[in-house]
Structure 1
Amino acid sequence: MLKNPEQTIGLLIDKQTVSFISSVDCDGFPNTKAMLPPRNREGIRTFYFTTNTSSLRVAQYRVNPKASIYFCDKRFFRGVMLIGSMEVLEDADSKAAIWQDGDTLYYPQGVTDPDYCVLRFTAQKGRFYSHFKSEDFTVS
C-alpha cells in the first residue's frame, strides 16, 4: 500500500526524461504520444507541458478533454498512470510561466509564437505499479 502517494509518485515523475500523454480521437480510440517531461507540476494533481498549438493532440483535447499521462521508471519496472482532463492554455501568463531558454528551437517567434501553447493536465485518479502489484488511488 502506498503510504505517501504524493511523495513516492512525485519522486518517480521527477526522475523521468520522457512522459506519455494520451488523448481520445474522433472515433473514441486512445492516442498516446511521448513527450518531454512536464515543465512544472503542483503535487501529483496538476501538470504543465509545452506543445505546438497546431498539433494533433491539441486538436483532440479541444474536442474531448479526457486524458491520461504516464510515467515509467524502466530501471525498477514501475510506473504511474494519472487520469483526468487536459486544457489548452494560450494566454500570455500561462505561456510565460513555463517558457525556458532554448524554447526558440521549437517556437522561433518566442513566447508569443502562435504555435506555442501550454497543456494543463488535472488528475482525478491514478494507478501505481511497483513490485508486481498495482494500486488505484484518488488524487485530492
Structure 2
Amino acid sequence: MKNVEKTVGRIVDNQKVAFISSVDADGFPNMKAMLAPRKREGIRIFYFTTNTSSMRVQQYLKNNRSCLYFCDRRFFRGVMLKGTMDVLTDCEHKELIWEEGDTMYYKEGVTDPDYCVLKFTAFCGRYYSDFKSENFVVD
C-alpha cells in the first residue's frame, strides 16, 4: 500500500459506523458497533463518545487493549487497527468532541457525569482489499 494514512483515512472518513472491541473479564473479545469517531488525528488517534456507566467503559478500565474495524461495504474492503482505548473524563476532551445534539444522550450537557470520551491509540493495522491483506505499522 503506497500511502497508508491516505488510504485508511479515506475508508474511515466514509463510514457511519465503526466496530470497536474490548476484552471481558474471561479474556474473550467483545465487539460493538458505534457511531463513527467524532475526531481523529491521522490514523493513530480516534475519539468516540459513550456512557461512563457502560459495560465497555468498565472493560477498558480493567484492560485497555482494543481494536477498531472500519468496513467499506461498497467495495468490500476494510481496515483493522490494533491499539489501546483510554477512558477520558476531563473537561478538555469532553468539550473537544461535544456536539449540539448530544443532550439527547447526556441530559446534563457536556458536564454530565455519564458522558465520557474514548480515546483509541493505534500502533498497527491490517488492510484488506482485492482479496489480499496487508499489515502496516502506524507511526
Q: TM-score range by the shorter chain?
A: over 0.9
Give distance in 2, aligned partners of 1:96 and 1:56.
Answer: 23
Structure 1 runs, 4 residues or longer, greater than 3 Å off: none
Please state how far the C-alpha of 1:27 moved relative to its aligned partner.
0.3
RMSD: 0.3
The residue that corresponds to 1:29 in the other structure is 28
Please state how far the C-alpha of 1:62 moved relative to its aligned partner.
0.1
Count of residue pairs the alignment pairs up: 139
1:12-68 Cα deviation digits (max 9, x unpaired): 100000000000000000000000000000000000000000001000000000000
The residue that corresponds to 2:107 in the other structure is 108
Please state how far the C-alpha of 1:123 moved relative to its aligned partner.
0.1
- Amino acid across the alignment from 2:47: Y
1:97-118 Cα deviation digits (max 9, x unpaired): 0000100000010000000000
Give distance in 1, aligned partners of 2:22 and 2:67.
Answer: 7
Q: Where in structure 2 are the equivalents of 1:4-15 lying within 5 Å?
A: 4-15=3-14
Give distance in 2, aligned partners of 1:61 and 1:12.
Answer: 25
User: Secondary structure of 1:61's partner?
Assistant: helix
1:73-132 Cα deviation digits (max 9, x unpaired): 000000000000000000001000000010000001000000000000000100000000
TM-score between the two structures when normalised by the length of structure 1: 0.99
User: Is residue 89 of structure 2 the alignment partner of residue 90 of structure 1?
Assistant: yes
TM-score between the two structures when normalised by the length of structure 2: 0.99
Give distance in 1, aligned partners of 2:16 and 2:39.
Answer: 13
